[in-house]
Chains A and B, each alone.
Chain A
Amino acid sequence: SYVLTQPPSVSVAPGQTASITCGGNNIGSKSVHWYQQRPGQAPVLVIYYDNDRPSGIPERFSGSNSGITATLTISRVEAGDEADYYCQVWDRSNDLVWVFGGGTKLTVL
């Protein structure tokens, strides 16, 4: 089965840029989606199809995807961005499955 690998944690100071990676075999050939989950809340879609933003998501959130790594970038980080972030792909290699990365805890220092 397809595996997505994320760093357990990333720390960044307010106003700086946070980069959260998501590694997978030839992930650049897949569409990657990202979710933000604040404590005690349901996940929220923040990036879809590698670098598209749903309405209401700030332009500070962006994504990229190439080779074996997809990246979620959060510019001018704010305290309210502190949350868990998950990458996700749809895998058709065997049975159809939707795969999540293990999640990255973003801490705003």
Chain B
Amino acid sequence: EVQLVESGGGLVQPGGSLRLSCAASSFTLSSYEMNWVRQAPGKGLEWVSHISDRGTIYYADSVKGRFTISRDNAKNSLYLQLNSLRAEDTAVYYCVRGITGSYFDQWGQGTLVTVST
């Protein structure tokens, strides 16, 4: 069974940093497109970042220059480095497997990031 398990969320002050991790099982993460999607409390879904199987990377304008996506093929894991955090970055962050240039077929359960004093 395909599984995506996120970790690393928590409470951080504005301007702070956090690193999210996503451990994949039952498939080879580097063979797929992987994404981070977030959902602010009571709000809708927002795509955040993408890394293709070839390593091509894209970011939403709202996080460009502050967030960095990466992966460790040996650990079969995906990461999201969050820097210069703002209150509006408060959200549940989902690790999501993508099918080439189209839809998201597998979602993790999410990890909550709260940016507050």
Contact = CB atoms under 8 A, between A and B. Distances in A.
A100 B46 contact: yes
B107 A31 contact: no
Nearest to A41: B109
Interface size class of A (residues with CB under 8 A): 20 to 34
Interface residues of B, number: 22
A97 B60 contact: yes
B102 A90 contact: yes
A15 interface: no
Interface string B42-61: 00111100100000001011
B45 A48 contact: no
B101 interface: yes
Contacts of A88: 45, 103-104
A90 B101 contact: yes
A97 B60 CA distance: 7
B108 interface: yes
Interface string B80-110: 0000000000000010001101111101111
